[in-house]
Every structure is written in structure tokens, then in C-alpha cells.
Amino acid sequence: MTKIVTFLLATLFAITSFGQTFEGKIVYTNSYKSKMPNVTDEQFTTMMGSSQEYFIKNGDYKSV
């Protein structure tokens, strides 16, 4: 009986606890090293972009 009560209390606690939230901007700066002799590092950077931005708000995100 005590195992059931302990399990129910632990489940109730896990359901009602809140996680951490984050709102803001995350910026990744990327660099590329070409393994192809006919494509330079700068060409890869131009094609793929040198940075990636994420905006996070209310559990949603937007990638730019």
C-alpha cells in the first residue's frame, strides 16, 4: 500500500513541477573546411552562410 501511495505522490510531483524556460536569441557562428580541391572554404561559407540565428519565445522558435 505504501508503494502505491509513494508512486502516486511521485507521479503527482512530476506532473506539477515546471521546467526552466528560456526566451531570447541564440546565434551560432559556422565555419567550413573544404575537402574538395575545386571548392574553396569561402565558397562553402557563401553557400551555407556563416551564422545561424534562432529566436525562442513561449516554447516556439524561428530560425533565420
Determine if the pTM surpasses 0.75. Answer: no
Number of domains in the chain: 1
Is 13 domain-assigned?
no
Residue 4 located in a structural domain = no
Structural domain span for residue 34: 20-64
Judge whether 7 lies within some domain. no
Q: Is 5 inside any structural domain?
A: no
For 10-64, the pLDDT digits (tens) are 887 777 766 667 899 999 999 999 999 999 999 989 999 999 999 998 888 888 8
Please report whether residue 15 resides in a domain: no
Q: What is the DSSP letter of 39?
A: S
For 12, counting Cβ atoms within 10 Å of its Cβ (0-12 exposed, 13-18 middle, 19+ buried), the class is exposed
